[in-house]
Amino acid sequence: MQQLNTTIEILLARFNGQVLIPFVAASEAAGIPQQTARNRLAKGDYPIPTILNGSRRFVHVADLSEYIESLRSPKPKRGPKTKASKFAGVEA
């Protein structure tokens, strides 16, 4: 059995090699519910670039892969620094 290494390879296998994925299927693959995706697209704050082809909207597999990979990166913590983090760089 062939091992899939990257997110884009996994997506290509899931969508049978399609490069342009239908908007709803791409949203669900990214973990965004269908109605939420439609609402965010209408408001203009949908996080993945889309392509309008005729009357149908698609997402390029590379853009979807990039978005999914961005979810894996750690987000900086918000709020004030803890005492431990303030003194971590100070040598005694």
- List, for residues 37-89, the tens digit of each pLDDT value: 999 999 999 999 999 999 999 999 999 999 999 888 777 777 777 777 767 66
Is 39 within a domain? yes
pTM, to two decimals: 0.73
Amino acid at 62: A
Is 59 within a domain? yes
Is 91 within a domain? no
Please say whether the dihedral angle defined by the alpha carbons of residues 21, 18, 8 and 1, taken in this order, is positive or negative. Answer: positive
Is 79 within a domain? no
State the first-to-last Cα distance of the chain, in angstroms, to the nearest integer. 55
Rounded distance, CA 76 to CA 89, Å?
A: 18
Q: How many domains does the chain have?
A: 1
What is the span of the domain harbouring residue 68?
Answer: 7-74
Angle between the N-to-C axes of helices 61-72 and 7-14, in degrees from 0 to 180, rounded to the nearest 10: 130
Buried b (16+ CB within 10 A) or exposed e, 64-76: bbebbeeeeeeee
Is 81 within a domain? no
